[in-house]
Structure 1
Amino acid sequence: MTKYEISQFIAETKQQDKGQGLFELETPRILEINLEDNIWAKMGTMISYRGNIKFEREGILEHGLGKLFKKALSGEGTALMKASGKGKLYVADQGKKISILHLKEESISINGNDLLAFETSINWDIKLMRKVAGLLSGGLFNVKLEGSGMVAFTSHYEPLTLLVEPGNPVYTDPNATVAWSGNLQPEFVTDVSLKTFFGRGSGESVQMKFDGNGFVVVQPFEEVYLAAQS
C-alpha cells in the first residue's frame, strides 16, 4: 500500500466499536455515547451522531428556580442539552482531553467549564464560589454530581490527580483546577506577594486550599473563564 492513500487514512482513523458500554473513548478527545435513552451533555459539544436522536436545550424551569438563579449568575458555562433516543452520539469540547468516571454512590465536584456529559440518573447542583467571584475574571463555579452513573469531563492536556491528606493541604491555581472529590470543601486564600513573581494580577495571588481526605485534579493550563455570555 502506498503511503498516504485514502484507504490507509480511513483504516487508521475510522470509528471502531470497542464494547466499552455507554461511554466510550473513540479517541482521547472524542467521546462516543451509545445512547439508549437520555443523556445530559454540555451545549455545543455535539460533533456528529447517527440514529434517531433528538436534542433539547435544558428547560428554563426544568430543574427549579434555585438552579435557574444560579445559572443566570454563572453564565453559559453549564448550559446543558438533553439528548434522547437511540443511536451513537459523538461529543467533544475544543479538542480537550476527555476523562470518564463511573460513580458508584459517590460524589465529585467538577469545574463548570470542564463538565462534558453525564447520565440522567445522577443528581447535580451548581455551586457558586462567591468568595472568589470578584477576584477572578468571570468568577468561578462548579457542578457537584452525586449518585451512580457515568460522568465525562475534560482537561487541557493530561490531568494530574493530587491526593489530599489531613494536615497536609494541597493548594491549586483556580484556573488550573478541574475537579475534586465531593467531600472536600475548598477554601480560598490570598498571597499578595505572589503577584510580584507572576507579573499578572489575574488571580495568581488567589489559591484554592484543599484539606481533609480526598483528591483534586489539576491541568497544565490556566483556563481563563469568560464572564456571563448570552
Structure 2
Amino acid sequence: MRSELFSAENLEKEHSQPGLRLQNAKLLKAELNGDFLARTGSMVAYQGQVTFEALGSGGLGKFLKQKLTGEGVPLMRIRGNGDVFLADNAADIHLIDLEPGDALSINGANVLAFDSSLNYDIKMVNGAGMFSNAGLFNCVFSGHGRIAVTTRGTPVVLNVDQPTFVDPQAAIAWSASLQTGYHRAEQLGFGTLLGRTTGERFTMSFAGQGFVIVQPSEEPPGGLAGAGEKKSSGSGGILDNIFDD
C-alpha cells in the first residue's frame, strides 16, 4: 500500500528516554515508564500497558478551590509502560521546561499535560484577574519538570523589559514573578458617549522581569470573570483567606 500519508513525517517518532515530547505541532507523545498527569479526555491513542485514574483537580484542596473559582485543571493520572498520545481539538502544543525556582502562571484551559514532579496551585491574579482570560484565578506551576501547554495559533513570547500591555483574552501564561494590573486602553470621549468603542477598553499590564505568552486568538473569559465584580475586589473576604499562601 502506498500513500503520502505514510511519509516519514507522519510516522511515530521514537526516543530512547521516557518523557513528554512533540509527535507533531498538534500531537503530544508521552513515552511512559512511570506516571504523568494530563487533562481529562485528552488521550487520543495509546499502546502498551497503560492505566488511567481520574483525579478531579488533583487533591481536596484544589477541588475546593476549583469549585469556588471555576478555575483549575480536570486531571487524570496516567501510569504504566507504553506510548500515550494526547491532543486538544487540534490546538498547537508547546513544551516548557521548568527549573527549580521557576514559576509559571497559566490559564488552566491551556494546560494539556505535565510531569508529576511539578507542583501546581490555584491562585488569584493580582490586580487584573477579572479582566484576564482565566478570570480571577490562574494555575501556578513550580518545581522541576516539563509541562505541555496549548495555544490557538502560533504565539508570540514577549520579554517584559519595558511596560507591557496585552489583551486579557489573548494572554495565556506569564512568569509568576511579574506584577500584573489593568490599564484603560480606550480613551473616553464624545464617541464613547455615543456608544462607539474600539473594542480595546482594558488591557492587562505586566511589569518586572519575565515573559508573557500571547496567542493570536481572543477567547472569552473563564473562571469567575463574569462574577468578579460581585464576589471580590481583590482584597478582603473569604476568597483572600483561602488563596493567600
Query: TM-score, structure 1 length as denominator?
Result: 0.82
Cα shift at 1:213: 0.8
What runs of 5+ residues in structure 1 fail to find an aligned partner? none
Secondary structure of the corresponding residue to residue 12 of structure 2? coil
Distance 1:147 1:55, change over 3 A: same
Stretch of structure 1 that moved more, 213-222 or 16-25: 16-25
Which of 95, 113, 122 pairs up with 2:109? 113
AA partner of residue 198 (structure 1)? T
CA distance in 1, matches of 2:56, 2:146: 22
Secondary structure of the corresponding residue to residue 125 of structure 1? strand
Which of 14, 17, 31 pairs up with 1:17? 14
Cα shift at 1:184: 1.2
Stretch of structure 1 that moved more, 43-52 or 14-23: 14-23
Pairwise CA RMSD: 2.6
Secondary structure of the corresponding residue to residue 153 of structure 1? strand
Name the counterpart of 2:48: 51
Distance 1:95 1:77, change over 3 A: farther
CA distance in 2, matches of 1:160, 1:79: 27
Distance 1:113 1:27, change over 3 A: same
AA partner of residue 215 (structure 1)? F
Asked whether 1:64 is paired with 2:60, we answer yes
State the identity %. Answer: 34
Asked whether 1:180 is paired with 2:155, we answer no
Cα shift at 1:38: 1.4
Name the counterpart of 2:243: none
Alpha-carbon displacement from aligned partner over 1:52-73 (angstroms, at most 9, x marks no partner): 111111157x5233x2222113
Stretch of structure 1 that moved more, 77-86 or 149-158: 77-86
CA distance in 1, matches of 2:47, 2:24: 17
Cα shift at 1:205: 1.8
* Number of residue pairs the alignment of both structures matches: 216
Asked whether 1:125 is paired with 2:125, we answer no
Name the counterpart of 1:34: 31
Whether the aligned pair in 2 keeps the contact of 1:74 and 1:128 (CA below 8 Å) is no
Alpha-carbon displacement from aligned partner over 1:106-132 (angstroms, at most 9, x marks no partner): 221111111111111111101234865
The equivalences for 1:149-228 within 5 A come to 149-165=145-161, 168-191=162-185, 193=187, 196-199=196-199, 204-225=200-221
What runs of 5+ residues in structure 2 fail to find an aligned partner? 225-245
Query: TM-score, structure 2 length as denominator?
Result: 0.77
Secondary structure of the corresponding residue to residue 88 of structure 1? strand
Asked whether 1:104 is paired with 2:96, we answer no
Stretch of structure 1 that moved more, 177-186 or 114-123: 177-186
